[in-house]
Structure 1
Amino acid sequence: MVRLLTQQGQLIDWNDEKTRPFPDNLVFLDLLNPGRAEELEAEKWLEYQLPTREEMQEIEESSRLYMEKGTLYMTAWLPVGLDTPDPDSTAISFVLAPDCLTTVRYADPMAFRVLVDQARRQCSTPLSSDAVFLLLLELIVARIADALQGVEGDMKKVCRDIFRLDPHKAHASVEKDLSDVVKLLGRRSALVANLRESLLSLSRMLQYFLNNAATWMRGDLASQFRSVMRDIKSLDEYTGQQMQEMTFLLESTLGLINIQQNQIIKIFTVASVLFMPPTLIASIYGMNFEHMPELKVPWAYPAVILLLIISAVLPIIWFKRKRLL
């Protein structure tokens, strides 16, 4: 699918069946899961090559950020699916020239959908390629910030929940709650790591743009690009803080799980000690010796039963006084 945005803010959805050429006043050309015919049409209008999907997956810095014939080729890892249970990151290429910004992508992040919605509502739409690039960066950074705020909310809830639980009460609900906390922290830790990777990728891309597009970039946008750079830096520091908080919560949760497991072992240990004296007495009188004088005494059976009860009660009283129960 191909979407076009003109200097007048007109949004055009393009299909393979259309044969008329692209309009001359484009400032934004967006290729989402492009077919070969769409790639050829775009390259014919742009008069330069677009990166392939395989080239977008390269990890070398020189393969992600480079310039050819005055056109900047920049690929960044951006978050996608942040509103789903399985968020991920995807490589998106920004091919930026003074007259047009071209994006090649194989996923649909929220920022691009918001840009389309703004254009359809006829909001104030940028009229140059660098302004469109700036708006996309602002939308992407805002989306990352929203995701980090959601993670912060989850961590506050986890903090309240885990320190409200009493691990000394060994029951299944406490164990399940703590297990769910570990799983949640694991998922949020992976999400923050992906967001941090995206922020680092955006920072490198933006710095490369500022270093190489100063000759033709609109002067009134320079301060806004620097503001986005500051936002990215502050969010990167924020992710570091969140990682530390999640590490603390994870260690605290594992400590509570350890306390709970020790409590369970303690209960079994105390129970085994409590039953040792009655078991010893019952074992003695369960022997099959021929000469056992107590077997001839009428009151021997109730006396042994009473002895069993006393031998079980006395350890309980002792454990209570020692505060082991």
Structure 2
Amino acid sequence: MNIESPIHQPTNQEVLLQLLQKHKLVTDMLHKQEMPRHELVESLVRKQSLVQMQQILKKIDPVEIAHFLEDLPSEDQLYIWDQVAEDKKEAVLREVTFDVLQALGYREFKKERSGIKAFDLNEGRLREIAINSREGLVETKPIWIDLVNPSFEERVWLGDFFGIDLPDPDGLGDLESSARFYVEENGEIHLHSDFLLDREDVSRNVGVGFILHKDILFSVRKEELPVFRLQRLRALSQPNYVTNARDVLLDLYAADAEYSAEALEDVYRGLETVGKHVLSKQMSDEDAAAMLTAIAHEEILNGLIRRNVLDTRRAVSFLMRSRFLDKQQLDDAQQILRDIESLDGHTTFLFGKINFLMDATVGFININQNKVIKQLTVLSVVFMPLNIIAGMGGMSEFSMMTHGIPWPISYGAFTIGMGIVAWITFLLLRFFEKRKLRSTSAAGSNTSV
């Protein structure tokens, strides 16, 4: 009796490996042969293998995908990684080794517009260095690593090398002090601060996460900020501008206070322009609406500045209380706090000026509305006696009184009489109005004397 051996069922990893080898083989053959519509054939073959890989990868557990990537060469790792679903990548990255993270992150760092910049000190100046590989990080000694909208792979790659957990820039909006400024058990200093981004269209505060770890400052944010560009230019051009990571951090806060002061000057100029229009003799409702929009824009910017300097004050005070700064840095921190205190007075003054201009603009709108209501009132007073006369003219007694007079003459005379009454009423209204104005002027003169 013959017993048939069970048919071997290939595992998911074996199927993926076969598809990968088949794809590479077919691609090589297509490149070597010349045929009509070469690009179309290559596209169809590529799509077929991609669909099969993606279907298998959806079914596989993230741990199994991580083990499969570890057994592949780096270029094949990148190819398989591109086929993994976006919602599964984070779970896979948590399981792979550092070598795989390095291979996956290398492609990200090689991009021309990479959002990661590293800086070290060279002859007292800040110098940008390349961090394309793990060896590059080992050989250099950066004091500042700046990340702008980093991907999850980049954050995990760098965080695993330095032994830290880099924050997600999308989750830096927590206002609780305990979550914004704290120290880990291993000595890491964490700060989450707001930095002002003043633009002509929309101004806002952008959250930035800082980590001080082993004399290296890590900064993570969602987008580029003028303060960071200014800090890099100064430290690159001026020798001994910074000496360590804490100097870089304090100078960023100092530059933020300076940038906020410049934004306040823009608010002053904007309100000065608005004030010239508001205090003019006449203003239409359209002009008033435009002024209200401009005032609201300056009020929002002033509020953002006030919140920004308040957050900077909290961060600098935390650094001073935690005793992380040396004597010179403490003096610099005190100067930053004094600069922020001077800005507080300006923001308070601007809030008062904004309220005044807002009330004045609303007052002009009320005056314009009162003028319209006054005109309607005059018309109603002028036509009030006419309504009475018209009512009398429509009564049967009037027809009886003018029975012997032709109707064109009688009603024509009636209409002329109504016009005369209206004119007399209008003249009386003007007379009483001028008399009231003379009385008001005389009372004002007596008061001044």
Same fold per superposition (TM over 0.5): yes
Identity percentage over the alignment?
Answer: 23
Q: Helix, strand or coil for the counterpart of 2:351?
A: helix
Report the residue type matching 2:329 in the other structure.
L
**Is residue 2:411 matched to residue 1:297?**
no
How far is the alpha carbon of 1:56 from its aligned partner? 2.4
Matched position secondary structure for 2:143: strand
1:173-228 CA distances to partner (integer Å, 9 max, x unpaired)? 611111222222222222222221111111100000112244xx343332222111
Residue 107 of structure 1 pairs with residue 223 of structure 2? yes
CA distance in 1, matches of 2:168, 2:229: 23
* Alignment length (residue pairs): 313
SS of structure 1 residue aligned to 2:202? coil
TM-score of the pair, normalised by structure 1: 0.86
Kindly indicate whether structure 1 or structure 2 has the higher relative contact order, using CA contacts under 8 Å at least 6 residues apart.
1
The answer to whether residue 211 in structure 2 is matched with residue 95 in structure 1 is yes
Q: 1:21 aligns with which of 123, 136, 148?
A: 136
Aligned match of 1:160: 276
Task: Give, in angstroms, the shift of residue 252 of structure 1.
Answer: 2.3
Equivalent position SS for 1:187: helix
Correspondences of 1:250-261 after superposition (within 5 Å): 250-261=358-369
Counterpart position of 1:170: none
Q: Can you list the C-alpha shifts for 1:245-279, whole angstroms capped at 9, x where unaligned?
A: 21222122222222221221111111122123334
Could you tell me which of 67, 76, 88 is aligned with 2:183? 67
Q: Is the 8 A contact 1:74 1:95 kept in 2?
A: yes
Contact 1:72–1:209, Cα closer than 8 Å, also in 2: no
The residue aligned with 1:233 is 341
Call closer, same or farther: CA 1:288–1:118 in 2, change over 3 Å.
Answer: farther
Q: 1:192 aligns with which of 295, 302, 311?
A: 302
CA contact (8 A) 1:130 1:218 kept: no
SS of the equivalent of 1:297 reads coil
1:86-119 Cα shifts (integer Å, max 9, x gaps): 1111211111246221101112221112234445
Query: 2:155 matched to 1:39?
Result: yes
* CA distances 1:124-164 after superposition (whole Å, capped 9, x unpaired): 45231122112211221111111111111122222221121
Looking at structure 2, the residues matched to 186 and 175 of structure 1 have their Cα atoms a distance apart, in angstroms, of 16
Which residue type is aligned with residue 181 of structure 1?
M
User: What are the ranges of 5 or more consecutive residues in structure 1 without an aligned counterpart?
Assistant: 167-172
In the alignment, structure 1 residue 177 sits paired with structure 2 residue 177: no
How far residue 302 of structure 1 moved from its aligned partner, in angstroms, is: 4.0
In terms of fraction of residues, the more helix-rich structure is 2
How far apart, CA to CA, are the structure 1 residues paired with 2:358 and 2:131? 49
The structure with the larger Rg is 2
How much is the aligned-residue C-alpha RMSD, in angstroms? 2.5
- Please name the residue that 1:309 is paired with: 419
The one-letter amino acid paired with 1:236 is: D
Amino acid at match of 1:306: I
1:145 aligns with 261
Match of 2:110 in 1: none
Displacement of 1:3 after TM fit? 0.7
Residue 107 of structure 1 aligns to a residue whose secondary structure is coil
Specify whether residues 13 and 292 from structure 1 end up closer, same or farther in structure 2 by C-alpha distance, changes over 3 A only: farther
Give the whole-Å Cα distance in 1 for the aligned partners of 2:272 and 2:204. Answer: 23
TM-score (norm 2): 0.64
Provide the C-alpha distance between the structure 2 equivalents of 1:157 and 1:287, rounded to a whole number of angstroms: 63
- One-letter code aligned to 1:317: L
